[in-house]
Chain A
Amino acid sequence: MRIVVTYKWTCDPEESTVRADGTVDWSRAKPGLSTYDPVAIELARRLADEADAELIGLTAGGKGVGAPIATKTALSRGLDRVVVIEDDSLREAGRSELAAVLAAAVRQIGDVTLVITGDSSVDVAAKMVPTVLAGELGWPAVAEVTAVAGQAGALRVERAIPGGAQVLEISGPVVLAASADAAVPHVPGMKELLAAGKKPVDLLALSALKVTPRNAAMTVTGRSRPERKARKGQLIDTADPAAAAAELVAALREVGAL
């Protein structure tokens, strides 16, 4: 059984700053594994150990995703090997384009029956790639997965739904998006860090992949920020709680917040 887990090497927006003109300065942000990807890798590793499967990390992006620090960081989390598509044309790739590249890579790897992704990426958080990837592969997609067990072609998946949990028996290949709290990722030990440097890294050329061509182009033509309003700084210091609450509601209605 081969399990692929996708991961993203990217910067955390928390480390970026916004310039006065509204543009984002990423220069001080250090790239790393997207926050929820270690959760997906942990979930995938446990299943791979249980099912005696090979666990392959897969990533695609611009220059830097194939750097040794990036691959070693991913491998140290418990992957058996990684497959990397590093191409600067992917730096600004949209979600659907990225998903198409990942799907082509999954087909190229071959004999893959399960793809696990993180909940969302830390920088974009669109939550689209798992479902678009599944669509490209012609597989079902299941999100908010909290547990998975079983073997290829016979998986038992638990997912969170509003108000409870759902259990699914899945008999074919599938894309699972791990819930952000599906597992507590283990911190790699020092020996795992050293071993990561010796694990295989397969670089795939984008030009060699059979990527389904896009039949529509999207270009961002504008961005705007909401108008910043000056703080009113209005103080409600009425002693009686009921009267103070009424005053607060009236003030919020006056400014259109309620």
Chain B
Amino acid sequence: MDFELTDEQDLVRSTVREFAAAELAPIAGEIDRDHRFPHETLPKLAELNLMGMPYPDKLGGAGMDYVSYVIAVEEISRACASTGIILSAHTSLATWPVYKFGTQAQHDKYLTDMASGHRLGAFALTEPAAGTDAGAGTATAVPSGDEYILNGSKIFITNAPYADVYIVFAKTDQERGARGMSAFIVEKGTPGFTVGEAEHKLGIRGSSTPPIYFADCRIPQSALLGEEGSGFKIAMQTLDGGRIGVAAQALGIAQAALDASIAYAKERVQFGKPIATLQAIQWMIADMATEVDAARLLVYRAASCVDKNVPYSTEGAMAKLFASETATRVAGKAIQIHGGYGYTESYPVERNYRDAKITELYEGTSEVQRMVIARSSLR
């Protein structure tokens, strides 16, 4: 068992860290305060081939391994968690199903542009009354000649206002429940498709998350992704991989909070000495460092399973469960270490704390991850 990264993976980390320090960290606080989507960042991510890292070079991606991809998400999220999820949702949730289930025509039309970062993707599964119970969605896609007519609404759709390509899940057969769900590729600007106002959220405020609406929205038959009725399976398989990206985001947030805590503890003097010399602080740092390292091992192990083309559903769930809960715990301790200053916007740990919570919720709540792990353990 080799726990060392390869040279390329090491180089990915140092390179993305350099980019994140120069381009993302300086604006992370501002886009959070202003609830501003960082438009200027996307072309830079695309130029560095970061928007489609795991996809083959000939399809517009960077042709890199999945461990390198999660390292990149981790380093980006360490500087700016909002940018981390913008990237991860595009790469793991929107681009992957087109890559995995798309026809050659769909690859030609969408995949190269998405993998190269020239078109932004969004994944639209969640509905107002169907979150964890994704199979209970009521959006419909009724066949009509050589088209489908979409009706319904989706909520909490990351990237929605700025995406060009949407993976939308809707029932083609309402009688069959989850098995009647199908997946579609819908383009921005299709008549009958509108984007609502973005939510004001606790964290990841630079990521835009509005509802989207379909009112007699006609899409061609060629927009069907995979087979009719396979939508739920496509969604679940997509989320299996997507949650590894979220786990990497959580890992980045946790690492940022830990780094800030170590730096602060060394500088803050109380009772005539740095608080880093106090055992109470040392034990908190020790626990934080251990948990972050454990999270890292789980995240990289899950990514490694993807690279080896072995099942990763359980491993991904473990990584996401542990990394997300670690991020929340570590960010909370980070504020504790910073004391009153940690509660102000003068230090980044309050943003880490607010950003961390969503990682326990989206792409499958911690409860869903526990269901997946229990099912696997109790087989």
Contact = CB atoms under 8 A, between A and B. Distances in A.
A248 interface: no
A72 B10 CA distance: 10
Given A73-B14, A187-B15, A197 B8 contact: yes
Give the interface size bracket for A toward B: 10 to 19
A187 B50 CA distance: 12
Contacts of A190: 12, 48-50, 53, 62, 64, 68, 72
Given A187-B18, A190-B64, A191-B57, A69 B49 contact: no
B7 A72 contact: yes
A146 interface: no
Interface string B68-91: 100010000000000000000000
Interface in A1-33: 32
A33 to B, nearest CB: 9
A189 B47 contact: yes
B22 interface: yes
A138 interface: no
Contacts of A193: 8, 11-12, 15
Interface string A185-202: 001111101101100000
A76 interface: yes
A191 B14 contact: no
A68 interface: yes
Contacts of A68: 7
A187 B13 CA distance: 12
Contacts of A187: 15, 18-19, 22, 48
A143 B248 CA distance: 44
Nearest to B23: A187
A197 B64 CA distance: 13
Interface in A41-80: 68-69, 72-73, 76
B63 interface: yes
A32 B14 contact: yes
A72 to B, nearest CB: 5
Contacts of B19: 187
A154 B48 CA distance: 34
Interface string B32-68: 0000000000000001111001000100001110001
Nearest to A184: B22
Contacts of B12: 190, 193
A253 to B, nearest CB: 29
Nearest to B62: A190
Interface string B1-33: 000000110111011001100100000000000
A189 B49 contact: yes
B10 A69 contact: yes
Contact of A69 (B11, B18, B57, B68): B11
For the residues of A in contact with B, the DSSP-based class is helix
A187 B49 CA distance: 11
Nearest to A75: B11
A69 B47 CA distance: 23
Interface in A155-214: 187-191, 193-194, 196-197
B53 A197 contact: no
A69 B15 CA distance: 12
B7 A194 contact: no
Contacts of A69: 7, 10-11
Contact of B7 (A32, A191, A197): A197
B18 A191 contact: no
A186 to B, nearest CB: 9
Interface in B147-168: none
Contacts of B62: 189-191, 194
B57 A73 contact: no
Interface string B292-313: 0000000000000000000000
A194 B64 contact: yes
Nearest to B68: A190
A162 B321 CA distance: 58
A188 B15 contact: yes
B39 to A, nearest CB: 19
A73 B315 CA distance: 32
Given A190-B62, A194-B63, A76 B11 contact: yes
A72 B48 contact: no
Contacts of B68: 190
B47 A194 contact: no
Contacts of A73: 11, 14
A9 B63 CA distance: 28
A153 to B, nearest CB: 35
Contacts of A189: 47-50, 62
A76 B10 contact: no
A188 B62 CA distance: 12
Contacts of A197: 7-8
Interface of A: 32, 68-69, 72-73, 76, 187-191, 193-194, 196-197
Given A68-B7, A190-B64, A193-B8, 17 more contacts: A32-B14, A69-B7, A69-B11, A72-B8, A73-B11, A73-B14, A187-B19, A188-B48, A189-B48, A190-B12, A190-B53, A191-B63, A194-B8, A194-B62, A194-B64, A196-B11, A197-B7
12 contacts: A32-B14, A68-B7, A69-B10, A73-B14, A76-B15, A189-B50, A190-B49, A190-B62, A191-B62, A194-B63, A194-B64, A196-B11
Closest 3 CB pairs of A and B: A190-B62, A190-B49, A189-B48
